[in-house]
Amino acid sequence: MEIKEVEYIGSYEHLSQCPKPNMPEVAFIGRSNVGKSSLINMLCNKKDMARTSKQPGKTQTINYYYVQSGWYLVDLPGYGYAKVSKHRRNSWEKMIERYLELRENLQCAFVLVDSRHELQKIDLEFINWLGERAIPFSIIYTKIDKVKNSKQDANIQALNDALMEYWNSLPPSFVTSAETGEGKDELLKYIDSLTNLSE
């Protein structure tokens, strides 16, 4: 699958404001500054569709994009560090939790994890939270181009091993680079299967 046309629909602060759940959708979420916007732009072949910034916490709403094949791509706020008040962070968390728990047409939440670092506590806690609530998710390891070739496999294995201390088996995972396009075809093929575009 290749995304040839995509349209920004809108940004919402409450689940009740989101578009009617009449089409399948997949959501992207991760720790602030994990490269989420860059990855979305790479998948959609648009350099500036999702806003990128060196300052964490720029995505502050549930952002909807309609893909021409008949599904929604959803860009969720990042969790973790952001230069906002504690009250604002709490409201983001509640918004994200309500969306993930109650959005009936959500096919998969893609959790982005930085491949350059050891598994962060906040990533582990979020992944375990999804598992406890039986929310379907997959893992996307980002920024693999920033890791030396000799260490790439070891880094991914270490991340998987850290997760396997809490899981009997892991959901599908993808190794990606927004810079080189690595993992793009595999990820889009998987999204295609989730949204039933081949049928």
Whole-angstrom CA distances from 198 to 65, 189, 195 are 20, 10, 8
Distance CA 15, CA 176 (A): 29
DSSP 129-170: HHHHTT--EEEEEE-GGGS-HHHHHHHHHHHHHHHHTT-SS-
Q: What is the pLDDT of residue 56?
A: 45
Domain boundaries, the chain: 6-189
**Residue 59 gets which letter from DSSP?**
-
Q: What is the pLDDT of residue 59?
A: 61
Q: What is the pLDDT of residue 175?
A: 98
Q: Which CATH class is domain 6-189?
A: alpha beta
pLDDT digits (tens, 9 = 90+) for 72-100: 999 998 887 555 566 666 776 888 999 99
**Average pLDDT for the chain:** 89
Residue type at 114? D
> How confident is the model over 150-162, as a mean pLDDT?
97
Q: What is the pLDDT of residue 48?
A: 78
* β pairing state of 25-30 and 62-67: unpaired
Q: How many CA atoms lie within 13 A of 102 on its CB side?
A: 11
**For the whole model, what pTM was predicted?**
0.91
